[in-house]
Amino acid sequence: MTQIGHFISNQQQVGTSGREQPVFNPATGQSENSVALASVEEVNTAVAAAKEAWPAWSKTPPLRRARILDKFKTILWERADELAEIISSEHGKVHDDAVGEVTRGLEVVEFAVGAPTFLKGEFSENVGSDVDSHSIRQSLGVVAGITPFNFPAMVPMWMFPVALACGNTFILKPSERDPSASLKMAEWLKEAGLPDGVFNVVQGDKEAVDALLDHQDVKAISFVGSTPIAQYIHQRGTANGKRVQALGGAKNHMVIMPDADLDMATNALMGAAFGSAGERCMAISVAVPVTDQVADALIEKLVPKIEALKIGPATDKASEMGPLITKEHMEKVKGYIDSGEQEGAKIITDGRSFRQEKQGYENGFYVGGTLIDQVSPEMKIWKEEIFGPVLSIVRRQSYKDAVDLIHSCEYANGTAVFTRDGDTARAFSQDIEVGMVGVNVPIPVPMAFHSFGGWKASIFGDHHMHGMEGVRFFTRIKTTTTRWPSGQRDDPQFSMPTLG
């Protein structure tokens, strides 16, 4: 078994904690590698390296920092397939989906290359007589990113390109379930010219995360993962005086109005519910057809498409949907389908019975596309995030009831409405209490120059990721007010200075 280790001060480091865990290829169900799980001392070594690198990096001209990121971007473009293969081998997603993930991450690098523009600051001449003021955004110091398994390249790239462009140094603690993409990106950042210690990877589990949360030299924590852990990270990080943004889980609804283009809605649902085997925080897991007539017509269109889904390993280019991340997660998803059935929902297509017949892949962690009708808000399968290829249908008889359903959900990451009516679309996008909204767009993931984030239990903290929100998160503002002796002189003044 080969050990996947850390990357500190631009060097691969073998784990020394004596703790490690297997990393699986979900398509085969086999494990050939293990990942090192860092001790507190290993985390401290990485933080010390990042701390040492920060003064020089923060004072490096933004244009020079941007040029290094620009070179990294070119490497990503040229080697997207290589990174995609690494992602697929540990995550299981199909190749084109993995390339899509790399591309969406790369777009944040493209945004970060604009740092000289977005760090320009503001200047006001004559805020008082002969007095000028300017405001600048400065880096925080050592910052850390803690990321989930489902986007092992894109989610880290929501964070580190912006953090580095702003002059911070970075520790990435990727998911222990698919740790290799982070090391490849670290190697390529080094190749692009990033100085030692500016970007570091520490592999690990709760022990490494807690060490980062408690370390006084870590100034900010950017987290993406499940809601209970996001809440924990936010509480412990802020209690330790850190700035924290913690994005959590999701349950995303798509409303299909009677006037919607049903073929368009059906195809959109197929990709949004079953792409990446439903392991996306922006997956649509609940379809909300308005009226029974729409529900029946939708099901009729969905069923043959779900039955025709090509489920297989990423090595087969024809595969449309891969396996789930682990055996435990596969069992959990099947358990949710059992629970829906027990609570009285109607299983229309049943992914529990799917068997992978391709030779060598029989033991992979596959679940087939599952469609469940007659789901109601009292059921566990509606209340909880399933994170698998399971699409629930909650029938509603009016637009208002559909909106009320969405508002009663604890999560508020993404949502969509399919309609041809401008009034409905405008009302939905204005009034819905969800962070990211699509109108005839099923997965409304904002582009890099906008910002990504949900509301309610889908986020803890104030800042969304990337775009200008990312810049605000990874910088703090300083305002300097200046007067020179040649200007007007005042007598001593004991009242609050005003313009008068």
Residue among 146, 201, 202, 337 that touches ligand NAD (CB under 6 A): 146
For residue 46, give Cα distances in angstroms to 7, 14, 59, 339.
Answer: 8, 13, 21, 44
For residue 474, give Cα distances in angstroms to 191, 273, 409.
Answer: 24, 33, 31
Q: Does 333 bind ligand NAD (CB under 6 A)?
A: no
Residue 126: exposure state from Cβ atoms within 10 A (0-12, 13-18, ≥19)? exposed
Report H helices in 114-194: 115-118, 154-165, 180-191
Residue among 26, 156, 167, 225 that touches ligand NAD (CB under 6 A): 225
Residue among 83, 209, 244, 324 that touches ligand NAD (CB under 6 A): 209
**Among candidate residues 156, 242, 153, 176, the one with its CA nearest the CA of residue 17:** 176
Q: Does 198 bind ligand NAD (CB under 6 A)?
A: no
Residue among 206, 310, 383, 420 that touches ligand NAD (CB under 6 A): 206
**Which string of x and - marks every residue 400-419 that binds ligand NAD (by CB under 6 A)?**
-------------x------
Q: How far is the CB of 286 from ligand NAD (least distance, A)?
A: 14
Q: Does 44 bind ligand NAD (CB under 6 A)?
A: no
E strands of 202-336, at which residues?
Answer: 218-224, 243-247, 252-256, 284-289
Q: Does 34 bind ligand NAD (CB under 6 A)?
A: no
Taking the least distance from each CB to ligand NAD, the nearer of 35 and 66 is: 35
Residue among 70, 82, 130, 205 that touches ligand NAD (CB under 6 A): 205
Q: Does 454 bind ligand NAD (CB under 6 A)?
A: yes
Q: Does 176 bind ligand NAD (CB under 6 A)?
A: yes
**Cα 316 to Cα 310: distance, rounded to the nearest angstrom:** 10
CB 392 within 8 A of CB 287: yes
Among all chains, which residue has been given the structure tokens 């580190």? Answer: 160
Residue among 57, 385, 412, 442 that touches ligand NAD (CB under 6 A): 385
**Cα 448 to Cα 366: distance, rounded to the nearest angstrom:** 32
Residue count of the chain = 500
Q: Does 180 bind ligand NAD (CB under 6 A)?
A: no
Using CB positions, name the residue nearest to ligand NAD. 225
Residue among 183, 458, 470, 475 that touches ligand NAD (CB under 6 A): 458
Report H helices in 168-280: 180-191, 206-214, 227-239, 262-274
**Cα 446 to Cα 466: distance, rounded to the nearest angstrom:** 10
Residue from 38, 281, 311, 324 carrying the catalytic annotation: 281
281 is catalytic: yes
Q: Does 467 bind ligand NAD (CB under 6 A)?
A: no
**By CB under 6 A, how many residues form the interface with ligand NAD?**
27
Q: Does 149 bind ligand NAD (CB under 6 A)?
A: yes
User: In this structure, how many other beta carbons lie within 10 angstroms of the beta carbon of residue 148?
Assistant: 24
Q: Does 281 bind ligand NAD (CB under 6 A)?
A: yes
Which of 36-44, 53-61, 115-123, 202-210 is the region at the interface with ligand NAD (rule: CB under 6 A)? 202-210
For residue 467, give Cα distances in angstroms to 13, 244, 376, 449.
Answer: 33, 17, 37, 4
Q: Does 229 bind ligand NAD (CB under 6 A)?
A: yes
Residue 428: exposure state from Cβ atoms within 10 A (0-12, 13-18, ≥19)? buried
Which of 36-44, 134-142, 244-252, 416-424 is the region at the interface with ligand NAD (rule: CB under 6 A)? 244-252
Q: Does 387 bind ligand NAD (CB under 6 A)?
A: yes
- Max CA-CA distance within the chain? 89
For residue 157, give Cα distances in angstroms to 53, 67, 134, 164, 439.
Answer: 20, 17, 31, 11, 26
**Which string of x and - marks every residue 78-107 that binds ligand NAD (by CB under 6 A)?**
------------------------------
Q: Does 250 bind ligand NAD (CB under 6 A)?
A: yes
| DSSP 3-state percent helix, strand, coil across the chain (nearest 5) | 40, 25, 35
Residue 36: exposure state from Cβ atoms within 10 A (0-12, 13-18, ≥19)? buried
Taking the least distance from each CB to ligand NAD, the nearer of 173 and 334 is: 173
Residue among 46, 112, 211, 224 that touches ligand NAD (CB under 6 A): 224
Q: Which residues are at the interface with ligand NAD (CB under 6 A)?
A: 146-151, 155, 173, 175-176, 205-206, 209, 224-226, 229, 247-250, 281, 385, 387, 413, 454, 458
Active site members: 281
